[in-house]
Copies of this chain bind each other. A is one copy, B any other.
Amino acid sequence: GQGHGHGGRGRREAPARKKADPIEQVLRLTLEEMYYGVQKNLKLTRTVIRGGAEQRVSETLTIDVKPGWKKGTKITFPEKGDEAPGVIAADIIFVVDEKKHPQFERDGNDLITTKVVDLHEALLGTSVFITTLNGKSINVDIPEIVSPKYVKVLVGEGMPLSKSPNSKGDMKIKFDIRFPKELTGEQKAQLKSILGNAQY
């Protein structure tokens, strides 16, 4: 027994039932689903032992995706794997993954989008149009000079925070500035006289 140096507890008793290794599955969600939250009903067919006999049963596992959930969030359904004699059924674990979004990348609670602007728009001022994940249209005026590293931040237009879904991260707009493919000698001469005197 305990404290007498005979080794671990229960070693001479009937062998403990061993638990099967957990089964991980990927739950791929769109950014919209993680923005609003969504209920996912997942059908599952498994073997159970009822009155000593094996049966195949269908079950539905329900996952309440909360607004703000992130890639890597794990949801565990204990012992929902196949039952077998002498074994504890495995846990089924769903791991959230993020589907690629056509417009936005997610960085924590922020959303990042990249807009292509031509060089003259970057220098002279421009505006960009964004449709947020909740369908809101935003027209963003950018009168300032847009350099390659410039990031325009729209505060509070990002993903909801899972712990306080009324608060949101930011929307960050990055710029991919298209340069002219070629310039004539005359264009170059003019640019030289303008930009050579500019304040860098």
Contacting residue for A123 out of B124, B176, B178, B180, CB 8 A: B180
Q: Which residues of B contact A123 (CB under 8 A)?
A: 179-180, 183, 188, 191, 195
Q: Which residues of B contact A124 (CB under 8 A)?
A: 183, 188, 191-192
The answer on a CB contact under 8 Å between A181 and B119 is: no
A61 to chain B, nearest CB (A): 42
The answer on a CB contact under 8 Å between B148 and A182 is: no
Give A contacts to B, CB under 8 Å.
Answer: 118-120, 122-124, 145-149, 176-183, 187-188, 190-192, 194-200
Extra A-B contacts (20), CB below 8 Å, given A180-B198, A180-B199, A187-B197:
A118-B195, A119-B200, A120-B196, A120-B198, A122-B179, A123-B180, A123-B183, A123-B188, A145-B181, A147-B178, A149-B176, A179-B200, A180-B195, A181-B200, A182-B199, A187-B198, A190-B190, A190-B194, A191-B194, A191-B195
What are 9 A-B residue pairs whose CB atoms fall within 8 Å in the complex? A120-B198, A122-B179, A124-B183, A145-B179, A145-B180, A145-B183, A148-B179, A149-B176, A190-B190
